[in-house]
């Protein structure tokens, strides 16, 4: 009965989710011990180049709607932007490849054993 419910739940999920969940479960069963880690505030760790900051402008006013608004530009990748996930994964992998010669095992682990900012 429980197995049937789990299979039905997995069948109702998008294929991508099922693959990710299966990979996570398999990785935790490969060895006697499992290690998990997280990149703290991943998006905020990534700076935006000066020439790209204009694409991330926003206006802000005080609590009152009177007066002039102030224009700001983001200097870090923001959570929630459509490109944030792709940008973060690209930067993470590029950084790992940049240091692969000095830290080959770490670079392989970072590229192959991470899902977004989680290490498995």
Q: Can you tell me which residue has the tokens 């990748």? A: 77
Note whether 78 and 110 are same-domain residues: yes
Shared domain check, 44 and 15: no
Do 64 and 99 lie in one domain? The reply is yes
Q: How many C-beta atoms lie closer than 10 Å to residue 91's C-beta?
A: 16
Same structural domain for residues 73 and 97?
yes
Of 113, 102, 48, 104, the C-alpha closest to 76 is: 48
Angstrom distance (rounded) from CA 86 to CA 82: 8
> Is residue 17 very low, low, confident or very high in pLDDT (cuts 50, 70, 90)?
very low
Judgement on whether residues 40 and 8 belong to the same structural domain of the protein: no
- The CA-based angle 25-44-36, given to 5 degrees, is 20
Residues 89, 102, single domain; the answer is yes
pTM (2 d.p.): 0.64
Q: Is 82 exposed, middle or buried (0-12, 13-18, 19+ CB in 10 A)?
A: exposed
How many independent structural domains does the chain possess? Answer: 2
Poorest-confidence range of 4-8, 55-59, 70-74, 99-103?
4-8
Q: What is the pLDDT of residues 75-112, one digit of tens each?
A: 998 887 888 888 888 888 999 999 999 999 989 888 88
Question: Considering the chain, what is the average pLDDT of its residues?
Answer: 77
Residues 25 and 46 in one domain: no
Residues 11 and 52 in one domain: no
Domain range for residue 59?
35-119
Residues 55 and 107 in one domain: yes
Q: What does the H/E/C string look like for 60-72?
A: ECCCCCCCCCEEE
71 plus 102 within the same structural domain: yes
Say yes or no: 2 and 60 in one domain: no
């Amino acid at each position: 009965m429980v197995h049937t419910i789990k299979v039905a739940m997995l069948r109702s999920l998008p294929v991508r989710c099922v693959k990710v969940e299966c990979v996570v479960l398999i990785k935790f069963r490969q060895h006697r011990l499992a290690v998990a880690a997280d990149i703290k505030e991943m998006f905020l760790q990534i700076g935006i180049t000066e020439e790209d900051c204009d694409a991330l402008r926003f206006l802000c006013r005080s609590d009152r709607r009177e007066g002039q608004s102030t224009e700001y530009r983001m200097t870090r990748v923001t959570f929630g932007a459509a490109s944030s996930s792709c940008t973060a994964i690209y930067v993470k992998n590029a950084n790992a490849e940049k240091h692969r010669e000095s830290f080959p095992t770490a670079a392989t682990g970072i590229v192959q054993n991470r899902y977004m900012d989680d290490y498995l």
